[in-house]
Amino acid sequence: MRKMRAIGQLALRSTDPQRAGEFYESAFGFRLRAGDDAGVDLELGGFELSFRRAAQATRDGIQIGFRVETAGEVDAWAQELSRRGFALVAPPSGDRWEGTRSFRVADPDGRQVAIFYDYPS
């Protein structure tokens, strides 16, 4: 069987693609690749995140997660985003015994965005 290298792109519906794009640029450092009234394309580390204008956002059952390299980075991201005015949905929680540490914020369309670290097993 042929193997894929990685997931390279995710496209979601948004009621306000420009606002969603600005959120991901400001909060997580995505770079705007292209944008118009119909949508925006963002890039971070070779991954493309796109938002297309729609009457209803893709939200139910969707969570976007960003993996970091240490549990301490989870806490540092939470402190930094809070300091910059982003509202946390849930504060950092979890530990080695649970196997993960994470927190969540909501993007402008209400999607859950997690910053997480998985402890080695």
Q: Strand 112-118 relative to strand 63-67: parallel, antiparallel, unpaired?
A: parallel
Does residue 93 have a pLDDT over 90?
yes
Does residue 23 have a pLDDT over 80?
yes
CATH pick for 1-58 out of 3.40.980.10, 3.10.180.10, 3.40.50.720, 3.40.630.30: 3.10.180.10
Confidence of residue 59 (pLDDT cuts 50, 70, 90): confident
Whole-number pLDDT of residue 97: 87
Counting Cβ atoms within 10 Å, is residue 86 exposed (0-12), middle (13-18) or buried (19+)?
A: middle
3-class DSSP state of 86? coil
Confidence of residue 108 (pLDDT cuts 50, 70, 90): very high
Instruction: Average the pLDDT over 64-74 and give the result.
Output: 94
Query: Which structure tokens are listed for 36?
Result: 């118009």
Please provide the average confidence, as pLDDT, over all residues in the chain: 93
Task: Look at 2 and 48; give whichever has higher pLDDT.
Answer: 48
Q: Has domain 60-121 been given CATH number 3.10.180.10? A: yes
Residue 78 and residue 67: Cα distance in Å, rounded?
13
